[in-house]
Amino acid sequence: MLLTSLIIVLREVLEAAVLLSLLLLICRRMGYSLTWLPGALALGALFAWGYSLNLEAITDWQEGVGQELLNAGLELLVVIGLFTVAWVSSFRSAGLQPRYMAFTGILAMVIIAALTQELAELLIYLDSALSVINSRGAVLAGATMGMGIGFSLGVLLYVFLSSLQNQTQKLMLFFLLALSSAGKASQAMGFLMQADWLESSLPLWNSADLLSERSVAGEILYAIMGYEATPTAGQVVVYVICLVSVSILYGRFRGLRHGLPRGERHGE
């Protein structure tokens, strides 16, 4: 029971922690404070609680696929938010500083959407597991450990990213933004297929023998980049589109570094 609780809590917390580390470091790089963060965390927790309280109604919505639609919607909000962060960051090097409220508002939206989804499952599980009196201790111990490990890994990522030299750090942040947005977009598509709002197809490949989703590495890659061993063609296409889009924005970011559009830098 302890191990089950640990794994469930760790999986959800890790996903949120990776995203949080990434966004907090980007916020710091832009020169903004984190005073907006506690409010965002609180709202995320509140919405997650609301989700868990209304599980039946949500589940029954739209002929029984409400959960999938809500999860896909939350994930798409995260994707849109991450794209916007990448886009806004790309203008920064041309000397344009985005407004504090607008930029931190986007970061808050991403965090609230991600937390609503991750924490809801956690709360539903804990509500269910803690109702069994005999194993309450084990469930709580496992949950605490899972939260601790997930949080620690998030801090580790933040410290690692902070330690990188300026140019390498920029590259890594954009790379992680690309992977996060691609992973979430692919997951959203997965939910829409699960809801039969999108047609499905046979998986394009099966990489489970190379890297099982059940392994530690597989779970970590799932948290960072939405790794799936059997993606469909549609999910792969969406994934690549996200990677390419963020890469294009990074290209603009670097091209505008000296205040000139890329083409003119090699000028006549």
Partner 1 sequence: MSITRLGLVLLMGWGFSLVSHAARPTYELELKNHLFHPDEIEIPANTKVRLIIRNRDDSSEEFESYELNREKIVGARHKATLFIGPLSPGVYPFFGEFNPKTAQGRIIVK
Interface with partner 1 by CB under 8 A: which residues?
A: 4, 8, 55-56, 59, 63-65, 67-68, 121, 124-125, 127-129, 131-132, 190, 193-203, 208, 212-214, 228-231, 234, 237-238, 241, 244-245, 248
Q: In 3D, which of 103, 78, 264, 266 has the Cα closest to residue 188?
A: 78
Q: In 3D, which of 211, 188, 164, 156 has the Cα closest to residue 81?
A: 188
Q: Give the dihedral sign, CA 60/124/156/221.
A: negative
To the nearest whole angstrom, how small is the minimum distance from the Cβ of residue 85 to partner 1?
15
Whose tokens are 């589109």? That residue is: 241
To the nearest whole angstrom, how small is the minimum distance from the Cβ of residue 100 to partner 1?
24
**Secondary structure of residue 212 in the 3-state scheme:** coil
Residue closer to partner 1 (CB basis): 128 or 167:
128
Contact assessment for residue 17 and residue 153, using Cβ atoms and an 8 Å cutoff: yes
Which pair of tokens denotes residue 171?
């590259």
To the nearest whole angstrom, how small is the minimum distance from the Cβ of residue 6 to partner 1?
12
Residue closer to partner 1 (CB basis): 104 or 235:
235
Query: How distant is the alpha carbon of residue 251 from its chain centre?
Result: 23
Torsion angle, alpha carbons of 200, 204, 209, 210, to 10: -130
Residue closer to partner 1 (CB basis): 63 or 268:
63
Residue closer to partner 1 (CB basis): 202 or 216:
202
To the nearest whole angstrom, how small is the minimum distance from the Cβ of residue 268 to partner 1?
26
To the nearest whole angstrom, how small is the minimum distance from the Cβ of residue 79 to partner 1?
11
Residue closer to partner 1 (CB basis): 64 or 137:
64
To the nearest whole angstrom, how small is the minimum distance from the Cβ of residue 218 to partner 1?
9
Residue closer to partner 1 (CB basis): 108 or 129:
129
Q: Beta-carbon neighbour count of residue 37 at 10 Å?
A: 17
Rounded to whole angstroms, the Cα distance separating 221 from 18 reads 11
